[in-house]
């Protein structure tokens, strides 16, 4: 039986460990694994190669994705999906594992509806914003990259009695900023999910500076578009010299953490086992929820917007006003 794997959308640490496990576990199950390069674009262009152990040897510690990725507009046209299907048919591939986000899952769901190619999606995005799962592959590594950078920035801020504004990724989800602020000891945390009171924060921070505070750490989610505003507020209102650091794509790179490597392994095993079972149909997503791996439909993933747990939001209560 032939089975393929591809990575789609934004890359993240953890994808390479997942690719390696996919190949190794496929051979364990007497399957013929194929690597699909360049995401959905690779499906269309037939950039598909039968995998060997040598293709994945030594990649478990690498960030990003050896298969590369893409965001494909062509795939949403039937003629290109037909071309992709024919490419798979030539190789006898009728089952796919895709690492990506909800957009990638929707694309393959349409592919399944058109041609019946079964698949299981693995949530892989540092934003951690996919509904139905508590955890997405790559999040732990991204948080550690943010932690490392924020700790370093704090060191130099303390040396000059400055404030630092650290902008994290996450699109419209504040998960990365919230967890980073809570675990890096930030004084300010600005995320889309919570209202903030700069007047209240200003009063509190001025008092702390008067009593001897030497620096201020503010973590802001990119989705708030508030980085420049915070710098101006800290300098003009709070009265402290301020520097901003936009971490950008450094958060997607780096060596995958132990946790992301382990999660990649377990996600892939569950995905392949489901594809080999008679229960797999209509395209499913393997999720990690309440400490267990489960399967949900694409419709379920798209039925609601991801929300940060109340318990986590409470961690930011003193950092917003």
The model's pLDDT over 43-100, given as tens digits with 9 standing for 90+, comes to 999 999 999 999 999 999 999 999 999 989 999 999 999 999 999 999 999 999 999 9
State whether 110 and 194 are in the same domain.
no
The confidence score (pLDDT) of residue 282 equals 74
The confidence score (pLDDT) of residue 308 equals 95
Q: Indicate whether 156 belongs to any domain.
A: yes
State whether 266 and 243 are in the same domain.
no
CATH number, domain with residue 172: 3.40.50.460
State whether 261 and 248 are in the same domain.
no
State whether 177 and 222 are in the same domain.
yes
Where residue 189 falls among pLDDT bands split at 50, 70, 90? very high
State whether 12 and 107 are in the same domain.
yes
Backbone torsions φ then ψ of 17, nearest 5 degrees = -60, -35
Report, as residue numbers or ranges, the catalytic residues.
Answer: 127
- Given a cut of 80, is residue 170 above it in pLDDT? yes
Q: Indicate whether 240 belongs to any domain.
A: yes
State whether 96 and 209 are in the same domain.
no
Containing domain of residue 182, as a range?
140-252
State whether 12 and 144 are in the same domain.
no
How many folded domains does the chain comprise? 2
CATH number, domain with residue 96: 3.40.50.450
Question: How high is the mean pLDDT of the chain?
Answer: 96
Residue that terminates a domain, selected from 209, 234, 252: 252
State whether 149 and 42 are in the same domain.
no
Q: Indicate whether 311 belongs to any domain.
A: no
Give the pTM: 0.95
pLDDT in tens, 1-25: 999 999 999 999 999 999 999 999 9
State whether 36 and 125 are in the same domain.
yes
More confident residue, 246 or 283: 246
Q: Indicate whether 236 belongs to any domain.
A: yes
Smallest CA-to-CA distance from 123 within 135, 112, 111 is with 135
């Amino acid at each position: 039986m032939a089975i393929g794997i591809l990575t789609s959308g934004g890359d993240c640490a953890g994808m390479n460990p997942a690719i390696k496990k996919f190949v190794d576990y496929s051979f364990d199950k007497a399957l013929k694994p194929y690597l699909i390069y360049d995401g959905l674009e690779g499906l269309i262009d037939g950039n598909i190669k039968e995998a060997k152990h040598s293709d994945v040897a030594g990649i478990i510690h690498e960030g990003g994705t050896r298969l590369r990725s893409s965001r494909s507009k062509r795939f949403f046209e039937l003629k290109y999906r037909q071309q992709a299907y024919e490419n798979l048919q030539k190789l006898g591939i009728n089952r796919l594992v895709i690492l990506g986000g909800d957009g990638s899952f929707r694309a393959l769901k349409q592919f399944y509806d058109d041609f019946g190619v079964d698949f299981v999606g693995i949530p892989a995005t540092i934003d951690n914003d996919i509904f139905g799962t508590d955890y997405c592959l790559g999040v732990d590594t991204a948080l550690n990259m943010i932690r490392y950078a924020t700790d370093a920035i704090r060191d130099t801020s303390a040396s000059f009695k400055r404030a630092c504004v650290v902008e994290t990724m996450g699109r419209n989800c504040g998960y990365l900023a919230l967890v980073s602020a809570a675990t890096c000891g930030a004084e300010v945390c600005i995320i889309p999910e919570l209202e903030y009171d700069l007047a209240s924060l200003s009063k509190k921070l001025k008092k702390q500076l008067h009593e001897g505070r030497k620096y201020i750490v503010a973590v802001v989610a990119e989705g708030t578009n508030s980085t420049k505003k915070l710098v101006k507020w800290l300098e003009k209102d709070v009265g402290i010299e301020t520097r901003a650091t936009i971490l950008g794509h450094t958060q997607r790179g780096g060596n995958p953490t132990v946790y992301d490597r382990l999660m990649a392994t377990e996600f892939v095993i569950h995905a392949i086992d489901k594809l080999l079972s008679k229960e797999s149909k209509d395209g499913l997503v393997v999720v990690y929820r309440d400490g267990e791996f489960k399967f949900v439909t694409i419709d379920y993933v798209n039925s609601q917007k991801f929300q940060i747990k109340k318990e986590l939001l409470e961690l930011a209560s003193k950092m917003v006003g």
